[in-house]
């Protein structure tokens, strides 16, 4: 039945949930709703006009997959203050972004606009502010141009016409959209081309379009619109240049244009049903537990092993943890951060999943107990003669993975303004190689990490197979807490002669003008050596993006799935979420018996640290073809989340930190049947690590 609930493999479940790792498989049944659901208003942010006034932009999420909802302006569709602010009264299914704006004066600074919608008895509201984190700069979030220039891709300029703007009675008219564009983005040297999406924006009756979606040919497209009832109508056309539609599947605020036109329909009003919308989500342990721990004998060795690499003079860490004089003023703070497992940054739930990692920097229960007892007993120094020999630290300018064989740096010095919204831009550099080389390790360093949120580098190969995106294939990523990729024995990635690198940069302002260049460093296998296994970096996410919905003051779970096409070894796990991210679990569902096993689970995600958890060789999961990787994410949009910028905001998919995401990066090595079986048999000859999913 059309109005029945629809089963799906991907859903947002709007409910409080237990810890991720403890969620039994029986709770993973999810549904999509064709009808009967609410419509959530969304605040997209604001931009600034030349006269200092502001445009506050709004969109919405119609949670129904089929039902179009009408909600007249009034108690169920109102702004406070203002009542009627030009908002839509007709809502088509799913996420629609930057649908309309409300212009407010420059002295509106500390005031708010609240939009309330009530549909099917469910009231949803969003409170919009002019806080700087919500500022939109449309010139610096363009993506389709793939250029280092500001305004590299501009939205279309649109004109709408109707054969008749006034009809004497319900009937139809011909609509024409005309648009010009800068020809970007391009695919294989040719413009992708513009498309149009028509919808009713306001009006008392139904509007039926001959073709609600169409490609523009020669800058034009025609369709018909039929009106069922007399009254005043507003129609909206969304013209997209091919960068990504205005719906929630595109993360930036570019490049489409919303245009509206009015149609007046005369005649006698007929009685019709009430619109649906008007119906009223193990380390150092003390050998003598009775002896109070001291800094020099018990705590300093822990700090040397797990903390001082980052916390020593000359680093960006807020304090040094090298000497007793450095540490003593921070003793209570250190105890709190260690006991909560916020520091060192290692956010895995250590009670489940794989427990062996090459880059494990976490503290054991014994180490945490030692530091806690030391702080609670007054943080004593102890006998200075017991102090371990000081460590020698590498320079911050040195490479974590060792001296590289090749460095590729963006040639242009980038200037970041002192104040304003984040800036996303592509920068490019050419790889100077005389022959193809196999990569053993990679590492990215910005020259000025103070302004770099993250970098994702893509390889644009000279002979890429048909179907490869012209923007390249993902090579490597930089973010705070990630120290490069070091591939396992006999495992690598090919870097081809003639490759061009695209540096997908995300910058943020810090109050003063800043400059940056970004370098990626490679270490190679010896010339002529070809590793047996080729690693691939896969970004798995919930699809489509508009499935990610985190309503105000809720905790939300979202699921995503990926079926392995071949036998595989998973070498690493890196969750990616934004400020509302609370946790993520990656499971493997065995295709032969449907049994589920947890690979890794982050139970206290921290957006400030993007950690790539690299499995130990003996523990890296070996998974047969057909295995389903199941990603479970939890977002916390409540005041209990200390990183939440505003729990009253509806949040969906987007590139800004105040928007959110749900994806996991995994390094995958595909294996043929013979290799896979050999590795499985080798695992069987030695004791398997606890809870390892090795077969």
Tell which residue, 439, 409, 410, has the closest CA to residue 537.
Answer: 439
Tell me how far apart the alpha carbons of residues 584 and 575 are, in angstroms, rounded to a whole number.
7
Q: What single-letter DSSP state applies at residue 565?
A: S
DSSP codes joined into one string, 86-149: S--SEE-SEEEEEEEEEEE-GGGTT--EEEEEEETTEEEEEEE---GGGB--GGGS--TT--SS
- For residue 438, what are the CA distances in angstroms to 48, 191, 476, 484, 669? 49, 35, 15, 16, 15
Give the mean model confidence (pLDDT) for residues 380-398.
Answer: 87
pLDDT digits (tens, 9 = 90+) for 601-651: 999 999 888 899 999 999 999 999 999 999 999 999 999 999 999 999 999
Predicted pLDDT of residue 592 = 87
Tell me how far apart the alpha carbons of residues 478 and 662 are, in angstroms, rounded to a whole number.
17
pLDDT averaged over the chain?
86
Location of structure tokens 């380390």: 283
Residue 395 burial (10 A CB sphere; 0-12, 13-18, 19+): exposed
Give the mean model confidence (pLDDT) for residues 113-134.
Answer: 95
Tell me the whole-structure pTM to 2 decimals.
0.79
Tell which residue, 645, 528, 624, 504, has the closest CA to residue 570.
Answer: 624
Instruction: Give the confidence band of 33 by pLDDT, cuts at 50, 70, 90.
Output: confident
Predicted pLDDT of residue 341 = 87
Strands 166-167 and 256-265: parallel
As a whole-number percent, the residues of the chain with pLDDT over 90 amount to 63
Give the contacts of 143 (CB within 8 A, at least 6 positions apart). 153, 185, 243, 244, 252, 254, 424, 426
Cis peptide before 544 (omega within 30 of 0): yes
- In this predicted structure, which of 392-401, 461-470, 671-680 has the lowest mean pLDDT? 392-401
In the predicted structure, residue 438 carries a pLDDT above the cut 50:
yes
pLDDT digits (tens, 9 = 90+) for 419-437: 888 888 889 999 999 999 9
- The alpha carbon torsion through 469, 470, 472, 478 (nearest 10 deg) reads -110
Tell which residue, 433, 405, 443, 430, has the closest CA to residue 526.
Answer: 405
In the predicted structure, residue 22 carries a pLDDT above the cut 50:
no
H or E element, residue 441 = strand 437-446
Predicted pLDDT of residue 3 = 36
């Amino acid at each position: 039945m059309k109005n029945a609930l629809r089963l799906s493999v991907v859903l947002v479940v709007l409910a409080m949930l237990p810890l991720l790792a403890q969620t039994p498989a029986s709770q993973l049944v999810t549904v999509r709703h064709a009808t009967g659901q609410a419509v959530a208003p969304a605040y997209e942010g604001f931009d600034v006009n030349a006269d200092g006034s502001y445009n506050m932009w709004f969109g919405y999420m119609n949670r129904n997959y089929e039902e179009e909802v009408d909600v007249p302006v009034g108690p169920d569709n109102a702004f406070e203050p203002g009542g009627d602010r030009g908002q839509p009264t007709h809502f088509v299914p799913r996420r629609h972004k930057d649908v309309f704006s409300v212009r407010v004066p420059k002295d509106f600074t500390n005031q708010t606009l609240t939009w309330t919608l009530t549909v099917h008895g469910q009231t949803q509201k969003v409170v919009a502010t002019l806080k700087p984190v919500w500022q939109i700069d449309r010139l610096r979030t363009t993506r389709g141009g793939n250029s280092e220039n500001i305004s590299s891709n501009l939205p279309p300029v649109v004109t709408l016409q109707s054969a008749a703007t006034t009809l004497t009675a319900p009937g139809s008219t011909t609509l024409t959209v005309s648009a010009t564009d800068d020809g970007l983005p391009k695919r294989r040297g040719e413009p992708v081309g513009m498309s149009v999406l028509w919808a009713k924006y306001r009006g008392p009756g139904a509007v039926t379009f001959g073709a609600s979606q169409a490609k523009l040919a020669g800058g034009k497209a025609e369709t018909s619109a039929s009106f069922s009832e007399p009254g005043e109508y507003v129609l909206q056309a969304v013209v997209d240049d091919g960068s990504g539609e205005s719906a929630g599947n595109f993360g930036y605020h570019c490049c489409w244009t919303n245009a509206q036109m009015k149609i007046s329909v005369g005649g006698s009003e007929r009685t019709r049903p009430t619109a649906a919308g008007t119906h009223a989500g193990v380390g150092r342990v003390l050998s003598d537990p009775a002896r109070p721990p001291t800094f020099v004998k018990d705590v300093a060795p822990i700090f040397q092993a797990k903390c001082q690499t980052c916390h020593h003079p000359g680093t960006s860490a807020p304090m040094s943890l090298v000497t007793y004089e450095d540490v003593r003023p921070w003793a209570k703070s250190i105890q709190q951060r260690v006991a909560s497992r916020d520091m060192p940054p290692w956010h895995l739930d250590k009670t489940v999943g794989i427990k062996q990692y090459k880059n494990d920097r976490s503290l054991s229960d014994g180490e945490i107990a030692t530091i806690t007892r030391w702080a609670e007993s007054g943080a004593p120094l102890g006998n200075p003669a017991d102090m371990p020999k000081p460590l020698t630290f590498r320079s911050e300018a040195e490479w974590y993975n060792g001296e590289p064989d090749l460095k590729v740096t963006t040639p242009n010095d980038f200037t970041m303004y002192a104040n304003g919204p984040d800036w996303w831009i592509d920068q490019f550099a050419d790889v100077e190689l005389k022959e193809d080389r196999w990569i053993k390790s990679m590492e990215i360093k910005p020259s000025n990490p103070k302004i770099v949120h993250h970098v994702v580098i893509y390889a644009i190969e000279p002979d890429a197979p048909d179907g490869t995106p012209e923007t390249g294939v993902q090579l490597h990523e930089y973010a705070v807490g990630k120290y490069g990729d070091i591939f396992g024995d006999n495992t690598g990635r090919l870097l081809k002669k003639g490759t061009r690198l695209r540096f997908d940069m995300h910058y943020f302002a810090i109050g003063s003008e800043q400059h940056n260049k970004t370098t990626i460093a490679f270490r190679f296998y010896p010339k002529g050596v070809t590793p047996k296994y080729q690693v691939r970096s896969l970004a798995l996410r919930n699809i489509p993006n508009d499935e990610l919905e985190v309503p105000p003051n809720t905790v939300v779970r979202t699921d995503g799935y990926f079926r392995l096409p071949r036998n595989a070894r998973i070498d690493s796990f890196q969750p990616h979420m934004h400020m509302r991210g609370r946790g993520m679990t990656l499971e493997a569902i065995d295709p032969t018996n449907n049994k589920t096993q947890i690979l890794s689970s982050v139970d206290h995600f921290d957006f400030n640290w993007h950690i790539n958890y690299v499995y130990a060789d003996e523990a890296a999961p070996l998974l047969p073809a057909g295995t389903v990787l199941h990603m479970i994410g939890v977002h916390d949009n409540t005041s209990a989340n200390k990183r939440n910028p505003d729990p009253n905001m509806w949040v969906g998919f987007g590139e800004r930190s105040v928007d959110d995401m749900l994806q996991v990066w995994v390094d995958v090595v595909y294996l043929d049947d013979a290799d896979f079986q050999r590795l499985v048999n080798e695992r069987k000859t030695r004791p398997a690590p606890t809870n390892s999913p090795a077969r």
